[in-house]
Amino acid sequence: MATIEDRIEHCERRLLRAVKAADHVLTGDGRVSEAAAAALIGVHKDTLRDWRGRGEGPDHFRIGGTVTYAVHDLAAFIEVARVHGAEARG
């Protein structure tokens, strides 16, 4: 069984392929815009804003008023939210 770290790494690779395929801008340290982050995890960017306001959602950066998300943090958020087996049916 894969560890959480393995699953995050695998998810991150898939997200990076999606970033490239969608022609999103990727910063040198692996961050994407709020709009790109929302598209990558399948939510509206307003949902990300709501989550930030409640202290929820993926970790983010606020630099000069601009919010960005590290692809690694998006992958971690996705994998931590994963529901397995009986829990998924529950």
pLDDT single digits (tens) 55-88:
999 999 999 999 999 999 999 999 999 887 655 5
Number of domains in the chain: 1
Other Cβ atoms closer than 10 A to 83? 9
Q: What is the pLDDT of residue 16?
A: 98
Interhelix angle 34-41/4-21, rounded to 10 degrees, is: 120
User: Domain with 30 in it: what CATH number?
Assistant: 1.10.10
**Residue 59 in contact with residue 73, Cβ under 8 Å?**
yes
Q: Check: pTM over 0.85? Answer yes or no.
A: yes
Length of the chain in residues, anyone? 90
Domain that holds residue 28: 4-89
Residues 12-71: pLDDT tens digits?
Answer: 999 999 999 999 999 999 999 999 999 999 999 999 999 999 999 999 999 999 999 999
